[in-house]
Amino acid sequence: MQKQLKEYKKTLMELKRLEGISALLEWDQENQMPAKSIKSRSETSALIAKITHEKSTNKQFGDLINELYENSDKLDPVEKRSIEVTKKNYDKVVKLPTEFVEEFSKLRSLAQSAWVEAKAKENYLHFEPYLKKIIKFSRDYARYIDKKKPIYDVLLDDYEEGMTTTKLQEVFSDLKIELIELLSKIPTKENKKSLSSQVFDKDITRKFLLEMTKQIGFDYERGALGEVHHPFETSITEDDIRINVSYPEKYLAYSITAAIHEAGHGLYEQNVDKKYHETALGHGVSLGIHESQSRLLENMIGRSEAFWKFFLPKLKKYYPSLDKIKVEDVVGDLNRVTSSFIRTEADEVTYNMHIILRFELELLLLDEELSTKDLPEEWDKMMHELLGIKPKKISKGVLQDVHWSIGAVGYFPTYALGNLNAGQLWNKFISENKKWESEVAKGDFTSYFNWFKENIWRHGGYYKPRDLMIKATGEDLNAKYFVEYLNKKYLG
Ligand SMILES: [Zn+2]
Protein backbone atom coordinates (compact mmCIF):
# COMPACT_ATOMS: atom_id res chain seq x y z
CA MET A 1 0.00 0.00 0.00
CA GLN A 2 2.91 2.37 0.73
CA LYS A 3 3.85 2.72 -2.95
CA GLN A 4 0.26 3.51 -3.96
CA LEU A 5 -0.12 5.93 -1.08
CA LYS A 6 3.02 7.80 -2.13
CA GLU A 7 1.78 7.99 -5.72
CA TYR A 8 -1.65 9.23 -4.60
CA LYS A 9 -0.15 11.91 -2.37
CA LYS A 10 2.08 13.13 -5.17
CA THR A 11 -0.89 13.69 -7.50
CA LEU A 12 -2.95 15.17 -4.68
CA MET A 13 -0.25 17.75 -3.94
CA GLU A 14 0.15 18.58 -7.62
CA LEU A 15 -3.62 19.16 -7.82
CA LYS A 16 -3.47 21.32 -4.73
CA ARG A 17 -0.70 23.45 -6.23
CA LEU A 18 -2.62 23.82 -9.49
CA GLU A 19 -5.66 24.97 -7.53
CA GLY A 20 -3.37 27.43 -5.77
CA ILE A 21 -2.32 28.85 -9.14
CA SER A 22 -5.98 29.30 -10.12
CA ALA A 23 -6.68 31.02 -6.81
CA LEU A 24 -3.70 33.32 -7.27
CA LEU A 25 -4.80 34.23 -10.79
CA GLU A 26 -8.29 35.04 -9.54
CA TRP A 27 -6.93 37.03 -6.63
CA ASP A 28 -4.67 39.00 -8.92
CA GLN A 29 -7.50 39.62 -11.36
CA GLU A 30 -9.43 41.36 -8.57
CA ASN A 31 -6.42 43.18 -7.14
CA GLN A 32 -3.85 44.31 -9.67
CA MET A 33 -4.55 43.00 -13.16
CA PRO A 34 -4.58 45.71 -15.84
CA ALA A 35 -8.03 45.94 -17.44
CA LYS A 36 -6.83 45.20 -20.96
CA SER A 37 -5.27 41.86 -20.03
CA ILE A 38 -8.67 40.24 -19.38
CA LYS A 39 -8.63 38.26 -22.65
CA SER A 40 -5.15 36.77 -22.24
CA ARG A 41 -5.81 36.24 -18.54
CA SER A 42 -8.98 34.25 -19.14
CA GLU A 43 -7.01 32.06 -21.58
CA THR A 44 -4.38 31.49 -18.90
CA SER A 45 -7.03 30.65 -16.30
CA ALA A 46 -8.85 28.31 -18.69
CA LEU A 47 -5.60 26.46 -19.44
CA ILE A 48 -4.87 25.90 -15.75
CA ALA A 49 -8.47 24.77 -15.22
CA LYS A 50 -8.16 22.30 -18.10
CA ILE A 51 -4.89 20.80 -16.81
CA THR A 52 -6.40 20.52 -13.31
CA HIS A 53 -9.54 18.85 -14.65
CA GLU A 54 -7.59 16.33 -16.75
CA LYS A 55 -5.34 15.47 -13.85
CA SER A 56 -8.16 15.06 -11.34
CA THR A 57 -10.31 12.89 -13.62
CA ASN A 58 -7.43 10.80 -14.94
CA LYS A 59 -8.34 7.08 -15.02
CA GLN A 60 -5.05 5.94 -13.44
CA PHE A 61 -5.60 8.35 -10.55
CA GLY A 62 -9.14 6.99 -10.21
CA ASP A 63 -7.87 3.38 -10.08
CA LEU A 64 -5.35 4.38 -7.45
CA ILE A 65 -8.04 6.06 -5.33
CA ASN A 66 -10.32 3.02 -5.61
CA GLU A 67 -7.54 0.60 -4.69
CA LEU A 68 -6.59 2.65 -1.65
CA TYR A 69 -10.25 3.06 -0.70
CA GLU A 70 -10.81 -0.70 -0.77
CA ASN A 71 -7.80 -1.18 1.48
CA SER A 72 -8.37 1.88 3.62
CA ASP A 73 -8.61 -0.18 6.83
CA LYS A 74 -4.86 -0.68 6.54
CA LEU A 75 -4.24 3.08 6.50
CA ASP A 76 -3.95 5.44 9.46
CA PRO A 77 -7.14 7.42 10.26
CA VAL A 78 -5.90 10.66 8.65
CA GLU A 79 -5.01 9.00 5.33
CA LYS A 80 -8.21 6.98 5.47
CA ARG A 81 -10.38 10.10 5.74
CA SER A 82 -8.29 11.86 3.08
CA ILE A 83 -8.94 8.98 0.66
CA GLU A 84 -12.65 9.05 1.55
CA VAL A 85 -12.90 12.76 0.69
CA THR A 86 -10.90 12.35 -2.53
CA LYS A 87 -13.00 9.38 -3.62
CA LYS A 88 -16.22 11.26 -2.99
CA ASN A 89 -15.10 14.15 -5.18
CA TYR A 90 -13.73 11.84 -7.87
CA ASP A 91 -16.96 9.80 -8.01
CA LYS A 92 -18.99 12.97 -8.39
CA VAL A 93 -16.94 14.18 -11.33
CA VAL A 94 -16.96 10.86 -13.19
CA LYS A 95 -20.69 10.34 -12.70
CA LEU A 96 -21.48 13.41 -14.78
CA PRO A 97 -21.55 12.92 -18.59
CA THR A 98 -19.03 15.23 -20.31
CA GLU A 99 -21.80 16.66 -22.48
CA PHE A 100 -23.83 17.60 -19.41
CA VAL A 101 -20.83 19.31 -17.78
CA GLU A 102 -20.15 21.34 -20.92
CA GLU A 103 -23.80 22.32 -21.40
CA PHE A 104 -24.19 23.31 -17.76
CA SER A 105 -21.02 25.37 -17.88
CA LYS A 106 -22.22 27.19 -21.01
CA LEU A 107 -25.62 27.78 -19.45
CA ARG A 108 -24.07 29.25 -16.33
CA SER A 109 -22.01 31.82 -18.18
CA LEU A 110 -25.00 32.80 -20.37
CA ALA A 111 -27.29 32.94 -17.34
CA GLN A 112 -24.85 35.13 -15.46
CA SER A 113 -24.64 37.77 -18.17
CA ALA A 114 -28.43 37.61 -18.62
CA TRP A 115 -28.78 38.21 -14.91
CA VAL A 116 -26.49 41.26 -15.00
CA GLU A 117 -28.53 42.74 -17.83
CA ALA A 118 -31.89 41.85 -16.31
CA LYS A 119 -30.89 43.44 -13.02
CA ALA A 120 -29.65 46.63 -14.68
CA LYS A 121 -32.84 46.89 -16.74
CA GLU A 122 -35.17 45.85 -13.91
CA ASN A 123 -36.52 43.19 -16.25
CA TYR A 124 -37.11 39.76 -14.67
CA LEU A 125 -38.45 38.23 -17.90
CA HIS A 126 -35.03 38.64 -19.47
CA PHE A 127 -33.54 36.27 -16.86
CA GLU A 128 -36.50 33.91 -16.29
CA PRO A 129 -35.86 31.44 -19.20
CA TYR A 130 -32.26 30.96 -17.95
CA LEU A 131 -33.35 30.44 -14.37
CA LYS A 132 -35.86 27.86 -15.54
CA LYS A 133 -33.02 25.93 -17.19
CA ILE A 134 -30.72 26.33 -14.19
CA ILE A 135 -33.39 24.70 -12.00
CA LYS A 136 -33.77 21.86 -14.49
CA PHE A 137 -30.00 21.33 -14.72
CA SER A 138 -29.71 21.35 -10.91
CA ARG A 139 -32.36 18.66 -10.76
CA ASP A 140 -30.57 16.59 -13.43
CA TYR A 141 -27.25 17.10 -11.68
CA ALA A 142 -28.64 15.66 -8.45
CA ARG A 143 -30.08 12.70 -10.35
CA TYR A 144 -26.71 11.88 -11.92
CA ILE A 145 -24.94 12.02 -8.57
CA ASP A 146 -27.44 10.00 -6.51
CA LYS A 147 -30.86 8.89 -7.70
CA LYS A 148 -31.89 7.56 -4.32
CA LYS A 149 -31.40 10.71 -2.28
CA PRO A 150 -33.76 13.73 -2.22
CA ILE A 151 -32.61 16.30 -4.80
CA TYR A 152 -31.96 19.04 -2.29
CA ASP A 153 -29.87 16.74 -0.08
CA VAL A 154 -27.54 16.02 -3.00
CA LEU A 155 -27.15 19.72 -3.82
CA LEU A 156 -26.55 20.62 -0.17
CA ASP A 157 -23.91 17.94 0.22
CA ASP A 158 -21.63 19.78 -2.21
CA TYR A 159 -21.37 22.63 0.26
CA GLU A 160 -22.12 21.04 3.63
CA GLU A 161 -21.25 17.36 3.87
CA GLY A 162 -23.84 15.35 5.77
CA MET A 163 -26.45 18.11 6.07
CA THR A 164 -30.01 17.17 5.11
CA THR A 165 -33.15 19.02 4.06
CA THR A 166 -35.10 17.51 6.95
CA LYS A 167 -32.55 18.75 9.48
CA LEU A 168 -32.58 22.23 7.95
CA GLN A 169 -36.38 22.36 7.93
CA GLU A 170 -36.43 21.43 11.61
CA VAL A 171 -33.82 24.03 12.57
CA PHE A 172 -35.17 26.82 10.35
CA SER A 173 -38.76 26.41 11.48
CA ASP A 174 -37.71 26.96 15.12
CA LEU A 175 -35.58 29.87 14.08
CA LYS A 176 -38.34 31.53 12.07
CA ILE A 177 -40.78 31.57 14.97
CA GLU A 178 -38.17 32.93 17.38
CA LEU A 179 -36.96 35.63 15.00
CA ILE A 180 -40.45 36.93 14.21
CA GLU A 181 -41.09 37.25 17.93
CA LEU A 182 -37.74 38.88 18.63
CA LEU A 183 -38.07 41.37 15.77
CA SER A 184 -41.40 42.58 17.12
CA LYS A 185 -39.71 43.45 20.42
CA ILE A 186 -36.46 45.14 19.39
CA PRO A 187 -36.75 48.92 19.77
CA THR A 188 -35.74 51.04 16.75
CA LYS A 189 -32.68 53.19 17.36
CA GLU A 190 -31.89 56.51 15.78
CA ASN A 191 -29.32 56.49 13.01
CA LYS A 192 -26.16 58.21 14.24
CA LYS A 193 -23.58 57.08 11.66
CA SER A 194 -20.54 57.41 13.90
CA LEU A 195 -18.13 55.83 11.44
CA SER A 196 -19.56 57.19 8.22
CA SER A 197 -19.53 60.89 9.01
CA GLN A 198 -16.66 61.98 6.74
CA VAL A 199 -14.43 60.94 3.83
CA PHE A 200 -11.82 58.40 4.92
CA ASP A 201 -8.38 57.85 3.43
CA LYS A 202 -7.71 54.39 2.02
CA ASP A 203 -4.03 54.23 3.04
CA ILE A 204 -4.72 55.34 6.60
CA THR A 205 -7.61 52.89 6.97
CA ARG A 206 -5.41 50.10 5.61
CA LYS A 207 -2.77 50.78 8.29
CA PHE A 208 -5.43 50.52 10.98
CA LEU A 209 -6.82 47.28 9.52
CA LEU A 210 -3.33 45.74 9.49
CA GLU A 211 -2.76 46.66 13.12
CA MET A 212 -6.20 45.42 14.16
CA THR A 213 -6.11 42.03 12.40
CA LYS A 214 -2.54 41.42 13.58
CA GLN A 215 -3.61 42.08 17.17
CA ILE A 216 -6.40 39.49 16.80
CA GLY A 217 -3.86 36.91 15.63
CA PHE A 218 -3.72 36.95 11.83
CA ASP A 219 -0.17 36.08 10.77
CA TYR A 220 1.18 38.45 8.11
CA GLU A 221 4.26 36.31 7.58
CA ARG A 222 1.89 33.73 6.10
CA GLY A 223 -0.79 36.07 4.81
CA ALA A 224 -1.60 39.39 3.19
CA LEU A 225 -4.28 42.07 3.05
CA GLY A 226 -5.54 42.90 -0.45
CA GLU A 227 -8.07 45.29 -1.97
CA VAL A 228 -11.07 44.09 -4.04
CA HIS A 229 -14.63 45.14 -4.92
CA HIS A 230 -16.34 42.44 -2.85
CA PRO A 231 -14.44 41.31 0.26
CA PHE A 232 -13.29 37.66 0.35
CA GLU A 233 -10.61 35.34 1.72
CA THR A 234 -8.60 32.99 -0.46
CA SER A 235 -5.94 30.37 0.23
CA ILE A 236 -3.09 30.27 -2.29
CA THR A 237 -1.10 27.68 -0.33
CA GLU A 238 -1.15 26.55 3.31
CA ASP A 239 1.36 29.36 4.03
CA ASP A 240 -0.21 32.09 1.92
CA ILE A 241 -3.67 33.15 3.06
CA ARG A 242 -5.05 36.37 1.61
CA ILE A 243 -7.81 38.43 3.15
CA ASN A 244 -9.30 41.17 0.99
CA VAL A 245 -11.46 44.17 1.71
CA SER A 246 -12.81 47.24 -0.07
CA TYR A 247 -12.60 50.88 0.97
CA PRO A 248 -15.82 52.80 0.27
CA GLU A 249 -14.80 56.43 0.89
CA LYS A 250 -17.43 57.37 3.43
CA TYR A 251 -18.11 54.00 4.93
CA LEU A 252 -15.27 53.19 7.31
CA ALA A 253 -17.40 50.72 9.30
CA TYR A 254 -17.74 48.59 6.16
CA SER A 255 -13.97 48.22 5.67
CA ILE A 256 -13.48 47.43 9.36
CA THR A 257 -16.22 44.80 9.70
CA ALA A 258 -15.17 43.22 6.39
CA ALA A 259 -11.56 42.96 7.61
CA ILE A 260 -12.68 41.31 10.86
CA HIS A 261 -14.96 38.90 8.94
CA GLU A 262 -12.29 37.88 6.44
CA ALA A 263 -9.70 37.56 9.22
CA GLY A 264 -12.06 35.01 10.80
CA HIS A 265 -11.86 32.92 7.64
CA GLY A 266 -8.11 33.53 7.45
CA LEU A 267 -7.39 32.42 11.02
CA TYR A 268 -9.18 29.13 10.35
CA GLU A 269 -7.08 28.47 7.25
CA GLN A 270 -3.81 29.54 8.88
CA ASN A 271 -4.25 27.28 11.88
CA VAL A 272 -5.07 23.91 10.35
CA ASP A 273 -2.69 21.34 11.83
CA LYS A 274 0.43 20.73 9.70
CA LYS A 275 -0.27 16.99 9.66
CA TYR A 276 -3.17 17.64 7.26
CA HIS A 277 -1.24 19.80 4.81
CA GLU A 278 -0.34 16.96 2.47
CA THR A 279 -3.79 15.40 2.55
CA ALA A 280 -7.23 16.34 1.21
CA LEU A 281 -8.03 17.71 4.69
CA GLY A 282 -5.75 20.74 4.80
CA HIS A 283 -8.45 23.42 4.87
CA GLY A 284 -11.67 24.44 6.64
CA VAL A 285 -14.19 21.59 6.51
CA SER A 286 -17.31 23.23 5.04
CA LEU A 287 -18.91 26.54 4.14
CA GLY A 288 -21.20 26.46 7.18
CA ILE A 289 -18.30 25.96 9.59
CA HIS A 290 -16.10 28.46 7.74
CA GLU A 291 -18.80 31.10 7.84
CA SER A 292 -19.29 30.46 11.57
CA GLN A 293 -15.68 31.46 12.17
CA SER A 294 -16.00 34.70 10.23
CA ARG A 295 -19.43 35.63 11.60
CA LEU A 296 -18.40 34.87 15.18
CA LEU A 297 -15.33 37.07 15.00
CA GLU A 298 -17.22 39.80 13.15
CA ASN A 299 -20.47 39.85 15.14
CA MET A 300 -19.91 38.37 18.59
CA ILE A 301 -16.46 39.91 19.08
CA GLY A 302 -15.98 42.67 16.48
CA ARG A 303 -19.27 44.41 17.25
CA SER A 304 -18.91 44.14 21.04
CA GLU A 305 -18.29 46.93 23.53
CA ALA A 306 -15.13 45.19 24.75
CA PHE A 307 -13.65 45.17 21.26
CA TRP A 308 -14.25 48.88 20.74
CA LYS A 309 -12.97 49.82 24.20
CA PHE A 310 -9.63 48.66 22.94
CA PHE A 311 -9.74 49.60 19.27
CA LEU A 312 -11.53 52.99 19.26
CA PRO A 313 -8.59 54.82 20.89
CA LYS A 314 -6.30 53.16 18.32
CA LEU A 315 -8.57 54.24 15.48
CA LYS A 316 -8.58 57.80 16.79
CA LYS A 317 -4.80 57.90 16.49
CA TYR A 318 -5.22 57.29 12.77
CA TYR A 319 -8.25 59.60 12.51
CA PRO A 320 -8.04 62.39 15.12
CA SER A 321 -11.22 63.84 13.57
CA LEU A 322 -13.17 61.02 15.30
CA ASP A 323 -12.11 62.38 18.67
CA LYS A 324 -15.64 63.06 19.96
CA ILE A 325 -17.03 59.64 19.04
CA LYS A 326 -17.75 57.40 22.04
CA VAL A 327 -17.55 53.61 22.32
CA GLU A 328 -21.33 53.38 22.76
CA ASP A 329 -21.85 55.40 19.54
CA VAL A 330 -19.80 52.92 17.52
CA VAL A 331 -21.37 49.87 19.16
CA GLY A 332 -24.87 51.30 18.61
CA ASP A 333 -24.00 52.10 15.04
CA LEU A 334 -22.68 48.60 14.33
CA ASN A 335 -25.65 46.82 15.92
CA ARG A 336 -28.68 48.52 14.45
CA VAL A 337 -31.53 46.13 13.60
CA THR A 338 -33.93 46.97 10.81
CA SER A 339 -35.76 45.07 8.06
CA SER A 340 -34.11 45.65 4.70
CA PHE A 341 -34.35 44.27 1.18
CA ILE A 342 -30.74 43.36 0.51
CA ARG A 343 -29.35 40.22 2.14
CA THR A 344 -25.71 41.33 2.10
CA GLU A 345 -26.59 44.53 3.96
CA ALA A 346 -28.81 42.87 6.57
CA ASP A 347 -28.05 42.96 10.30
CA GLU A 348 -27.41 39.74 12.23
CA VAL A 349 -31.06 39.37 13.36
CA THR A 350 -32.88 39.85 10.06
CA TYR A 351 -30.13 38.19 7.99
CA ASN A 352 -31.40 34.66 8.53
CA MET A 353 -34.87 35.58 7.26
CA HIS A 354 -33.29 36.28 3.88
CA ILE A 355 -31.83 32.78 3.91
CA ILE A 356 -35.02 31.03 5.03
CA LEU A 357 -36.86 32.80 2.19
CA ARG A 358 -34.41 31.56 -0.46
CA PHE A 359 -34.31 28.05 1.01
CA GLU A 360 -38.09 27.68 0.95
CA LEU A 361 -38.30 29.04 -2.59
CA GLU A 362 -35.55 26.73 -3.83
CA LEU A 363 -37.41 23.72 -2.43
CA LEU A 364 -40.63 24.77 -4.16
CA LEU A 365 -38.86 25.36 -7.47
CA LEU A 366 -37.00 22.03 -7.41
CA ASP A 367 -40.18 20.15 -6.45
CA GLU A 368 -41.98 21.85 -9.33
CA GLU A 369 -44.51 23.29 -6.95
CA LEU A 370 -43.60 26.78 -8.05
CA SER A 371 -42.79 27.91 -11.58
CA THR A 372 -40.01 30.41 -12.27
CA LYS A 373 -42.68 32.66 -13.88
CA ASP A 374 -44.50 33.01 -10.56
CA LEU A 375 -41.31 33.40 -8.53
CA PRO A 376 -41.28 37.23 -8.10
CA GLU A 377 -44.81 37.24 -6.74
CA GLU A 378 -44.03 34.44 -4.29
CA TRP A 379 -40.78 36.19 -3.27
CA ASP A 380 -42.61 39.42 -2.41
CA LYS A 381 -45.31 37.54 -0.52
CA MET A 382 -42.76 35.66 1.60
CA MET A 383 -40.63 38.72 2.23
CA HIS A 384 -43.71 40.47 3.55
CA GLU A 385 -44.48 37.52 5.83
CA LEU A 386 -40.94 37.29 7.17
CA LEU A 387 -39.79 40.90 7.29
CA GLY A 388 -42.92 42.98 6.85
CA ILE A 389 -41.63 44.72 3.71
CA LYS A 390 -42.07 44.38 -0.05
CA PRO A 391 -39.40 45.41 -2.59
CA LYS A 392 -40.51 48.03 -5.09
CA LYS A 393 -37.85 47.09 -7.61
CA ILE A 394 -37.00 43.61 -8.90
CA SER A 395 -33.28 44.40 -8.48
CA LYS A 396 -33.95 44.69 -4.75
CA GLY A 397 -36.02 41.51 -4.77
CA VAL A 398 -35.58 38.28 -6.67
CA LEU A 399 -32.74 39.58 -8.87
CA GLN A 400 -30.43 40.79 -6.09
CA ASP A 401 -28.15 37.75 -5.71
CA VAL A 402 -25.74 36.31 -8.28
CA HIS A 403 -25.96 32.73 -6.88
CA TRP A 404 -28.79 31.24 -8.94
CA SER A 405 -27.36 32.60 -12.18
CA ILE A 406 -24.07 30.76 -11.56
CA GLY A 407 -25.90 27.54 -10.74
CA ALA A 408 -25.36 27.67 -6.99
CA VAL A 409 -28.68 26.16 -5.89
CA GLY A 410 -28.60 24.73 -2.36
CA TYR A 411 -25.82 27.12 -1.34
CA PHE A 412 -27.72 29.77 0.62
CA PRO A 413 -28.44 27.65 3.73
CA THR A 414 -24.71 27.58 4.54
CA TYR A 415 -24.88 31.30 5.35
CA ALA A 416 -27.53 30.68 8.01
CA LEU A 417 -25.66 27.61 9.24
CA GLY A 418 -22.70 29.93 9.75
CA ASN A 419 -24.75 32.05 12.16
CA LEU A 420 -26.27 29.09 14.00
CA ASN A 421 -22.92 27.31 14.38
CA ALA A 422 -21.43 30.60 15.56
CA GLY A 423 -24.15 30.97 18.23
CA GLN A 424 -23.62 27.42 19.46
CA LEU A 425 -19.83 27.70 19.57
CA TRP A 426 -20.00 31.13 21.16
CA ASN A 427 -22.17 29.78 23.98
CA LYS A 428 -19.62 27.06 24.68
CA PHE A 429 -16.66 29.44 24.41
CA ILE A 430 -18.02 32.06 26.82
CA SER A 431 -19.08 29.40 29.33
CA GLU A 432 -15.45 28.27 29.45
CA ASN A 433 -13.89 31.74 29.15
CA LYS A 434 -15.82 33.96 31.50
CA LYS A 435 -13.21 36.73 31.35
CA TRP A 436 -13.32 37.16 27.58
CA GLU A 437 -14.67 40.69 27.77
CA SER A 438 -12.03 42.06 30.11
CA GLU A 439 -9.34 40.32 28.03
CA VAL A 440 -10.58 41.64 24.68
CA ALA A 441 -10.97 45.12 26.19
CA LYS A 442 -7.21 44.96 26.84
CA GLY A 443 -6.49 43.75 23.32
CA ASP A 444 -5.76 40.24 24.57
CA PHE A 445 -7.15 37.66 22.13
CA THR A 446 -5.22 34.67 23.52
CA SER A 447 -8.22 32.84 25.03
CA TYR A 448 -10.23 33.31 21.85
CA PHE A 449 -7.35 32.21 19.65
CA ASN A 450 -6.45 29.15 21.71
CA TRP A 451 -10.03 27.94 22.16
CA PHE A 452 -10.91 28.09 18.48
CA LYS A 453 -7.57 26.69 17.40
CA GLU A 454 -8.03 23.75 19.77
CA ASN A 455 -11.70 23.04 19.01
CA ILE A 456 -12.13 24.02 15.35
CA TRP A 457 -9.21 25.33 13.31
CA ARG A 458 -6.56 22.66 13.86
CA HIS A 459 -8.91 19.84 12.77
CA GLY A 460 -9.09 21.08 9.16
CA GLY A 461 -11.32 18.77 7.13
CA TYR A 462 -10.88 15.71 9.37
CA TYR A 463 -14.29 15.70 11.04
CA LYS A 464 -17.52 16.12 9.09
CA PRO A 465 -19.24 19.42 9.97
CA ARG A 466 -21.94 17.98 12.23
CA ASP A 467 -19.45 15.69 13.99
CA LEU A 468 -17.14 18.64 14.56
CA MET A 469 -19.98 20.62 16.16
CA ILE A 470 -20.84 17.69 18.43
CA LYS A 471 -17.19 17.29 19.37
CA ALA A 472 -16.78 21.01 20.13
CA THR A 473 -20.11 21.70 21.87
CA GLY A 474 -21.52 18.31 22.87
CA GLU A 475 -24.64 18.82 20.71
CA ASP A 476 -25.85 18.51 17.12
CA LEU A 477 -26.68 21.74 15.32
CA ASN A 478 -29.66 23.64 16.71
CA ALA A 479 -31.01 27.19 16.68
CA LYS A 480 -31.35 27.54 20.46
CA TYR A 481 -28.02 29.17 21.28
CA PHE A 482 -28.06 31.64 18.44
CA VAL A 483 -31.56 32.77 19.47
CA GLU A 484 -30.42 33.01 23.10
CA TYR A 485 -27.45 35.12 22.07
CA LEU A 486 -29.67 37.50 20.05
CA ASN A 487 -32.23 37.80 22.85
CA LYS A 488 -29.58 38.61 25.41
CA LYS A 489 -27.86 41.12 23.15
CA TYR A 490 -30.90 42.98 21.86
CA LEU A 491 -33.43 42.67 24.67
CA GLY A 492 -30.97 42.52 27.59
ZN1 LIG B 1 -17.64 34.85 4.86
Mean pLDDT for 137-164 is 96
The 10s digit of each residue's pLDDT in 33-59 is 898 888 888 889 889 988 998 999 999
Distance 160 CA to ligand 1 centre (A): 15
- CA separation (Å) from 222 to 18, 219, 225, 267, 270? 19, 6, 11, 11, 8
Mean pLDDT for 98-104 is 88
Cα separation, 376 vs 39, in Å, equals: 36
Question: For residue 272, is it left (φ>0), alpha (ψ between -120 and 50) or beta?
Answer: beta
What lies within 8 Å, CB to CB, of 84 at 6+ separation is 69, 72
Distance 288 CA to ligand 1 centre (A): 9
What lies within 8 Å, CB to CB, of 313 at 6+ separation is none
Distance 299 CA to ligand 1 centre (A): 12
**360 pLDDT more than 90:** yes
Mean pLDDT for 66-83 is 96
Distance 418 CA to ligand 1 centre (A): 9
The 10s digit of each residue's pLDDT in 186-226 is 987 776 678 877 889 999 999 999 999 999 999 999 999 99
**435 pLDDT more than 80:** yes
Return residues with CB closer than 5 A to ligand 1 (ion): 294
The 10s digit of each residue's pLDDT in 261-307 is 999 999 999 999 999 999 999 999 999 999 999 999 999 999 999 99
% of the chain exceeding 90 in pLDDT: 86
Distance 335 CA to ligand 1 centre (A): 18
pTM of the model: 0.93
Distance 232 CA to ligand 1 centre (A): 7
Distance 320 CA to ligand 1 centre (A): 31
Q: Are 472 and 425 in contact (CB under 8 A)?
A: yes
Residues in the chain, total: 492
**364 pLDDT more than 90:** yes
Catalytic residues: 262
